[in-house]
Amino acid sequence: MNKTVPRAFYLDPPEVVARRLLGKLLVRRYEGQRLVGRIVETEAYCGVNDPAAHTFAGITERNAVLFGPPGVAYVYFIYGMHYCLNFSCEPDGQAGGVLLRALEPLEGLATMAKLRGLAADTNPRLLTSGPGRLCEALGVTRRTHNGLDVTNRRSGLHVEDDGFAPERIATTARVGIRKAAERPLRFSIAGNRFVSR
């Protein structure tokens, strides 16, 4: 039986948690079925000190989750058509989050393809390689998942540890941002073919 990742796992700064999440399993309960992917790419967004973070200008209604307790899902809508999934980090009252950028799909691939509007036998790389793609493949939206506790198995979205440890982690610049674009806060499992781009 895999271990559910506990709240203390998320209590540290985003750049620590982002690295630590690599290799863990993201598990989504969807219509009685398990949709599972291994986390292979993440980005850290460092609270009020990070010009690229949603929390840079302080607390608002949208970003309030990131200022709350660790281990909670922050889902936002971007470019008029995509959702992105983050986990809050740091103690309650302190802002910080990790963006999930890519998964290696492991269970429920046919359902993921259906949710993505693709044929059941499509290249699995198209299912969950990218922040918008992985949300669509797991049926994650702001309405259904923002504010959910991902340390609770009953949330329908949680993280498990199956003992897998990445051999080597690559550290690069974050993707798709303009401000603070040079900071090395993107982490991925080196050589994994489900990493985006």
Three-state secondary-structure class, residue 104 = strand
For tokens 């967004």, name the residue: 45
| Nearer of residues 170 and 177 to DNA, judged by Cβ | 177
- Contact segment (CB under 7 A) with DNA among 22-30, 51-59, 107-115, 148-156 equals 51-59
- Contact segment (CB under 7 A) with DNA among 2-10, 21-29, 155-163, 169-177 equals 169-177
Q: How far is the CB of 131 from DNA (least distance, A)?
A: 5
Note whether 73 and 85 are within 8 A (CB): yes
Size of the site for DNA (CB under 7 A): 37
Q: For 1-54, where are the E strands, in sequence order?
A: 3-4, 25-30, 33-45
Q: How far is it, in rounded angstroms, from Cα 139 to Cα 119?
A: 16
Q: How far is it, in rounded angstroms, from Cα 170 to Cα 93?
A: 30
Note whether 22 and 42 are within 8 A (CB): yes
- Residues within window 85-144 making contact with DNA, judged by CB under 7 A: 86, 97, 99, 116, 126, 130-134
| Nearer of residues 3 and 120 to DNA, judged by Cβ | 120
Is 178 near DNA (CB under 7 A)?
yes
Phi, psi of 168 (to 5 degrees): -145, 135
Q: How far is the CB of 120 from DNA (least distance, A)?
A: 15
In 3D space, the residue among 111, 89, 109, 113 whose CA is nearest the CA of residue 99 turns out to be 89
Q: How far is the CB of 52 from DNA (least distance, A)?
A: 6
For DNA, the binding residues (CB under 7 A) are 43, 45, 52-55, 57, 60-63, 66, 74, 77-82, 84, 86, 97, 99, 116, 126, 130-134, 174-179, 196
